Amino acid sequence: MSRRPRVRLRPQGVLLLLCGAALLRIALFGELYLRYVKEGLRPYLVASGAALVALALLNLLTRTAPHDEHDHDEHDQDEHGHDHTRTPRIAWLLTAPALALLLFPPPALGSYSAEREEARVAAQGAGTFPELPAGDPVDLTLGAFASRAQWDTGASLAGRTVRLTGFVTHSDDGTWSVARLLVTCCAADAQALKVEVRGETPPPADTWVTVTGTWHPTGTPGTPAARPVLDATSVKRTTTPTDPYEKR
Amino acid sequence: MDGLRRGVGDGVRVAVRALVYAVVGGVSLLAVVTVGSVLGPMVVLDLATPAMAAWWTVFTAVAVQGIPFLLLGTVVSAAIGAFVPERVFKRVLPRNPVLAVPVAGAAGVVLPGCECASVPVADSLMRRGVAPAAALAFLLSAPAVNPVVLVATSIAFPGDPAMVGARLVASLAAAVVMGWLWVRFGKEEWLPSVRRGGGGPAAAGGWRGFRDGLQHDFLHAGGFLVLGAAAAATFNILVPRSLLDVFTGSPWLSVLLLAVLAVVLCVCSEADAFVAASLTGFSPTARLAFMVVGPMVDLKLVALQAGTFGRAFAVRFSSATWVVAVLSSVLVGGWLL
């Protein structure tokens, strides 16, 4: 009795297709991947997505040779590993992130994470900084503003009007800050950058704003008393940038 | 003619099958949506809390970040399994495992990826007859000492080349010591995949074997990656990093604390230097411990190892590695930093 080769919808193929489609959706057909990882990973995500889809199509469209038709089913004697045609049960977990990305991509981290984290600025030690670029107001990243406010003994921020962009966070003590998260590799390592804003009424948390104002010195640079604070002259709402995190 | 008819028959069968799947799937989706819209508001309020949203984001981020590296690792391991004959490794590596361990540890320099890639590669090395001790030394050293990671470390600690050197030395030392410990104390029965020897029914060579191996290993390891990502996200949400500043007082406690933190946070080895650099309240040795332990032991890796080598192995091996890595970073940190 010879069984005919046939084309089947195999679970491996479906799983691979889901994973590949999810990667392609966030990295190739949009900018959603920036919510989770760095820009530099994009080519790898696209390549992996394409490879997974190709593998899935090969799996779904090729005919199975008749002799290995019998060993596809979930239960067999082999505990693990060598029967490569079987779908490992743990693999079904992959559907969770894949479907999440396809159906309801989780949002970028925002004020919830920023509020829980102490604002940090990379340890640099006090010293002088190069002149700020020309421009009035001058656009600065939160990291640049914060490190100059905390470490610059040359007070390069003094007398300059700066413009910062980030989302709104509120603190328990009633102050509010414009914040952004610094992501090195993926969202799991996000660190908060915050600049306290004074002199304007706070918008609701997680609103993206552009704040214009001047530096408010709080203490000698290099000591813990020096915190990044801005005396705001205007707060404008803005749209969420494509890359919600600050570049390092 | 017959073949053509058969082909058409197959096509129809697939179409019917797809239709059935679509109908069943659609009906159940509708049912879920109906129930959801009735019970929804309560549940959704719960799911949409910022903490839950942050959990999902971190969870997917770890999975998305890990998948390209995992795929790279499984491609390399499937290629080793399908195309590289056993005798190649026999010729390259010294026959004596005691000598093979440092060679394999140093060879970790060539795999430019993070820890997700090294587990499947080490597994396929073992199946190709490489001494488990040597493969394990490679498993531990590859994510810690490759050029990408070392460059990232030097960027994270500008003007502090001693930190890069200390990381290289401490990681290599820990990997080699673990390999030797395995030579002395390791038991084959903790490694079911090796005991059975290479080559099962589907471990065919050539393209077919490559494709089957790749598919299987990726899905298998991917499932465990997702498990690890869930654990990492949970700890990420439960443990605010600012809490750590409380523990910066004692130098010994801070080393242990950062070594534990490295395990639960599961920061990718290419990023952990930046996180370590931001932990400003801690001694250089404690930060070194964070960077040495992280690529060798973390929840995601334990999950991957448990899936690949078995739970008995993963628990023993990871706890021993943790101790060795902490000791190694304390010694090297005292010497170089």
pLDDT the model gives residue A65: 53
pLDDT digits (tens, 9 = 90+) for A16-55: 999 999 999 999 998 999 999 888 889 999 999 999 999 9
Chain A interface includes B193 (CB < 8 A): yes
pLDDT at A84: 57
Indicate yes or no: pTM above 0.80: no
Domain boundary pick from A39, A71, A103: A103
- φ/ψ of residue A70, rounded to 5: -80, -15
Statement to judge: residues A62 and A122 lie in one domain: no
Confidence of residue B292 (pLDDT cuts 50, 70, 90): very high
Strand partners, A164: A211
Are residues A219 and A170 part of one domain? yes
* For helices B206-238 and B50-83, angle between their N-to-C axes, nearest 10 degrees: 150
Q: Are residues A208 and A129 in the same domain?
A: yes
- Compare CB distances from B56 to A6, A100, A122 and report the shortest one's residue: A100
Q: How far is A155 from chain B (nearest CA, A)?
A: 23
pLDDT of res. A64: 60
- What CATH number is attached to the domain comprising A135? 2.40.50
Find chain B residues with C-beta within 8 A of A86's C-beta.
216
DSSP conformation letters of B167-182? HHHHHHHHHHHHHHHH
Asked if A207 and B82 touch (Cβ cutoff 8 Å), the reply is no
Last residue in a domain, options A87, A103, A119? A103
Report pLDDT for B198. 44
A196 & A222 share domain: yes
Q: Is B11 on the interface with A (CB under 8 A)?
A: yes
Q: What is the pLDDT of residue B202?
A: 40
Give residue A119's pLDDT.
Answer: 61
User: What are the residues whose beta carbons fall under 8 Å from the beta carbon of A118, sequence distance 6 or more?
Assistant: A192, B241, B242, B245
Establish whether the linkage from the previous residue to A137 is cis, with ω within 30° of 0: yes
pLDDT tens per residue across span A81-126: 445 567 778 889 999 999 999 998 999 999 888 887 766 555 556 7
DSSP annotation of A246: B
Q: Is the pLDDT of residue A228 over 50?
A: yes
Instruction: Assess if residue A222 is contained within a domain.
Output: yes
Residues A115 and A233 in one domain: yes
**Which pLDDT score, from 0 to 100, does residue A76 have?**
37
Identify whether residues A122 and A218 lie together within a single domain: yes
| In chain B, domain spans | 2-48, 52-336
**Residue B199 clears pLDDT 90, i.e. is over it:** no
Q: Does residue B65 belong to the interface with chain A, where contact is any CB pair within 8 Å?
A: yes
The answer to whether A80 contacts B201, with C-beta atoms less than 8 Å apart, is no
The pair of structure tokens assigned to A217 is 């010195």
Query: Are the beta carbons of A81 and B200 separated by less than 8 Å?
Result: yes
What mean pLDDT is reported for chain B? 81
Number of domains in chain A: 2
In this structure, is residue A145 part of a structural domain?
yes
CA distance B225 to chain A (A): 9
Torsions phi, psi of A106, nearest 5? -60, 145
A77, A103, A129: which is the final residue of a domain?
A: A103
Question: Is A246 a domain residue?
Answer: no
pLDDT of B243 reads: 61
Judged by CB atoms closer than 8 Å, whether chains meet at A51 and B71 is answered as yes
Q: How far is A123 from chain B (nearest CA, A)?
A: 7
B276 touching chain A per CB within 8 A? no
Average pLDDT on B62-83 reads 84
Tell me the nearest-neighbour CA distance from A7 into chain B, angstroms: 6
pLDDT at B200 over 50: no
Residues 144-183, chain B, touching A (beta carbon < 8 A): none
Per the domain annotation, does A3 fall within a domain?
no
Q: Which of A82, A92, A102 to mutate to test the interface with B (most CBs of B within 10 A)?
A: A82
The residues near A136 (Cβ < 8 Å, ≥ 6 apart) are A160, A161
How many contacts (CB atoms, under 8 Å) link A and B?
197
Among B60-74, B113-127, B144-158, B195-209, top mean pLDDT goes to: B60-74
Contacts of B79 (CB under 8 A, 6+ apart): B210
The mean pLDDT of A58-75, rounded to a whole number, is 57
Residue A158: pLDDT band by 50, 70, 90 thresholds? confident
Answer whether B195 touches A (CB < 8 Å).
no
Q: Is the Cβ pair A94, B222 closer than 8 Å?
A: yes
Pair of tokens at residue B155: 């960027």
Chain B residues touching A246 at Cβ < 8 A = none
A91 and B59 within 8 Å at the Cβ level: the answer is: no
Distance from CA of B64 to the nearest CA of A (A): 7
By the 8 A CB rule, do B242 and B214 touch? no
Residue B14, chain A, CB below 8 Å: the answer is yes
Q: Among the listed ranges A117-131, A149-163, B26-40, which one has the minimum average pLDDT value? A: B26-40
**Both tokens of residue A139?**
């656009």
Instruction: Residue A45: give the domain boundaries.
Output: 11-103
Chain A contact present for B96, CB below 8 A: no
User: Does A185 contact B270 at a Cβ distance shorter than 8 Å?
Assistant: yes
Name chain B contacts of A107, Cβ cutoff 8 Å.
Answer: 53, 57
Assess whether pLDDT exceeds 90 at residue A207.
yes
Residue B181: per-residue pLDDT:
93
Whether A176 maps to a domain, the answer reads yes
From B166's Cα to the closest Cα of chain A, the distance in A is 20
How many C-beta atoms lie closer than 10 Å to residue A170's C-beta? 15
**Mean pLDDT along residues A173-187:** 88
Highest mean pLDDT among A18-22, A223-227, B139-143, B212-216: A18-22
- What is the pLDDT, as a whole number, of residue A25? 95
| Residue B167 Cα, gap to closest chain A Cα (Å) | 19
One domain, residues A30 and A123: no
Does residue A61 sit in the same domain as residue A94? yes
Write down the pLDDT at residue B193.
Answer: 61
Structure confidence at residue A124 (pLDDT):
59
pLDDT at B280: 66
Q: Are B77 and B120 in contact (CB under 8 A)?
A: yes
pLDDT for res B245: 61
Label residue A155 left, alpha or beta by phi (over 0 means left) and psi (-120 to 50 means alpha): left
Least confident of A197-201, B181-185, B205-209: B205-209
B-chain residue closest to A115, CA distance:
B240
Which of A160-174, B6-20, B88-102 has the least mean pLDDT? B6-20
User: What is the rounded distance in angstroms from the CA atom of residue B130 to the CA atom of residue B123?
Assistant: 10
**Helices (DSSP H) in chain B: which residue ranges?**
2-47, 50-83, 86-92, 97-107, 115-127, 132-145, 147-156, 161-185, 192-195, 206-238, 251-265, 272-278, 284-296, 299-309, 311-336
pLDDT at B13: 76
Task: Among A216-225, A235-244, B200-209, B316-325, name the one with the lowest average pLDDT.
Answer: B200-209
Q: Is B55's pLDDT higher than 70?
A: yes
Same-domain status, A121 and A99: no
Residue of B nearest to A105 (CA): B57
Of A44, A82, A109, the CB nearest to B57: A109
d(CA B15, CA B10): 9
- CA distances to A194, A222, B280, B329 from B249, in Å: 25, 20, 12, 19
Determine, for residues B215 and A111 on separate chains, whether the beta-carbon distance falls below 8 Å: no
Q: A7, A58, A77, A189: best mutation site toward chain B, by most B Cβ within 10 Å?
A: A189
Report the percent of chain B where pLDDT is more than 90.
Answer: 20
Q: How far apart are alpha carbons B279 and B258 in whole angstroms? A: 9
